[in-house]
Amino acid sequence: MADNFVDGIMETVESRNGGDVEFHQAVREVVESIAPVIEKHPEFAAAGIVERVVEPERQIIFRVPWMDDNGQVQVNRGFRVEFNSAIGPYKGGLRFHPSVNVGIIKFLGFEQTFKNALTGTPIGGGKGGCDFNPKGKSDNEVMRFCQSFMSELFRHIGPDTDVPAGDIGVGAREIGYLFGQYKKLTNTFVGILTGKGLGWGGSLVRTEATGYGLVYFVSRMLEARGKDWKGQKVVISGSGNVAIYATQKVQQLGGTVIALSDSNGYIVDNDGIKLDTVRQIKEVRRGRIKEYLEEHPSAEFHEGWEGIWSVPCDVALPSATQNELDGNAAGTLVANGCIAVAEGANMPSTPEAVKVFLDGGVSFGPAKAANAGGVATSALEMSQNSMRMSWSFEEVDKRLKGIMDSIYTQCVEAADAYGCNGNLVAGANIAGFLKVARAMMAQGVV
């Protein structure tokens, strides 16, 4: 039954979504995990739940014209995939990166649906973005681009409809420009985006939340092995929002982060990464990670982002982008004695890498569980906006920690219930799917 079920679903998904290979990859992993759930719950099959859950509810593709600083008209392609609204308004980030296409956005929206379900907050799944490259653009160019992007997006979103946020290439600056344009077009000041500035509707801890949440999740993984963060050597890929605040929390809890990267290469500082320098380079100057050596000449820089997984470590947190860690890299990590890997990025490990970790006895925290702290805190931002109130840093951080603990427990219990003891990939997929499926059952064939 299991093979027929997976093949049947994948045949439709692959023929309907042509070359969208990342989307195929994300769907296959979930469908393989939930085969035993479908066997146990024939009512889900009768209601076509899986056939419906792999098909986005709505996909919007639009032209984004803008003028660069030389007076030249540039045209980009924008996307919003509103994937599933069974549990709440569509919710998920916007990615601005030249590699963005509809397949990437679909994979991210699909993953987001189950991740958001795991948070236990009332949010559905969506994702959007654009093939715009913010690198090297002036602030004015970024502003004009964001205004053009929102000039179309505004008609599709709303505080009870669809609430975007940041992702790769979209941080505080972009959210500000996007929000300003929405407000001007609609004459409303409402929570249509999360990750807003603290003085105008943002939530404390949202900036830190994905990285902090990731580290809270790994604390539970380490605890299950009778360990904690003290003395652990940690390698984190990327040096953006997720990587920076994961580093900060690891350092607070007594671990040593020895390597970070960007798309050009990686740095190794065996004395421990000096985060102030990284933040100055990345958050203030928007520079390159190799500039770290200008202040810390004893550190090393290596060209190429792939090599970071050859740095021996106890814990690895891939936090840059999809498919950045393959089977060979996973083999190297295992051979070097790595005991825990958790995904800060969305789908950073290839299916081969995941298999190497699971077979190699490494504790493995999959993205839709491990990096859910960002979107969970976005949901807390939405709650605060609705109440027109702001919670303290301690209050939000406490809720974030509680949510990450609950996600970990749900994953462990779902894996146990379906005979895949200790497999958090299966656990996350099953627990997330069950929540979405039950909500869809209750709401009929829509």
Residue selected from 129, 169, 176, 255 as contacting ligand NDP according to rule CB under 6 A:
169
Piece of the chain touching ligand NDP by CB under 6 A; list 165-173, 273-281, 291-299, 352-360: 165-173
Q: Is 202 in the site for ligand NDP (CB under 6 A)?
A: no
What are the two backbone dihedrals, phi and then psi, of residue 170, each rounded to the nearest 5 degrees? -125, 110
Number of residues that bind ligand NDP (CB under 6 A): 23
Residue selected from 121, 241, 349, 363 as contacting ligand NDP according to rule CB under 6 A:
241
Which residue reads 């909500």 in tokens? Answer: 439
> Does the CA dihedral 431-436-439-442 come out positive or negative?
negative
**How far apart (Å, rounded) are the C-alpha atoms in residues 381 and 205?**
10
Residue selected from 84, 239, 350, 429 as contacting ligand NDP according to rule CB under 6 A:
239
Q: Is 261 in the site for ligand 2IT (CB under 6 A)?
A: no
Which residue reads 């984190």 in tokens? Answer: 236
| Interface with ligand 2IT in residues 18-77 (CB under 6 A) | none
Q: Which two tokens stand for residue 285?
A: 């100057």
Piece of the chain touching ligand NDP by CB under 6 A; list 43-51, 74-82, 266-274, 318-326: 318-326
Q: Which residues are catalytic?
A: 127
Piece of the chain touching ligand NDP by CB under 6 A; list 45-53, 234-242, 333-341, 418-426: 234-242
Contact 277, 194 (CB under 8 A): no
AA letter at 378: S
**In the complex, least distance from residue 425 CB atom to ligand 2IT, rounded to whole angstroms:** 17
Number of residues that bind ligand 2IT (CB under 6 A): 11
Residue 56 binding partner per list ligand NDP, ligand 2IT, none, with a CB distance cut-off of 5 to 8 Å that depends on partner kind:
none
Piece of the chain touching ligand NDP by CB under 6 A; list 46-54, 139-147, 313-321, 386-394: 313-321
Site track for ligand 2IT across 389-428, x = CB under 6 A: ----------------------------------------
| Interface with ligand 2IT in residues 160-189 (CB under 6 A) | 165, 167
What are the two backbone dihedrals, phi and then psi, of residue 269, each rounded to the nearest 5 degrees? -130, 100
Residue selected from 24, 91, 220, 302 as contacting ligand 2IT according to rule CB under 6 A:
91
**In the complex, least distance from residue 338 CB atom to ligand NDP, rounded to whole angstroms:** 20
Residue selected from 82, 167, 269, 314 as contacting ligand NDP according to rule CB under 6 A:
167
Q: Give the binding site for ligand 2IT (CB under 6 A).
A: 91-93, 112, 165, 167, 194, 346, 374-375, 378
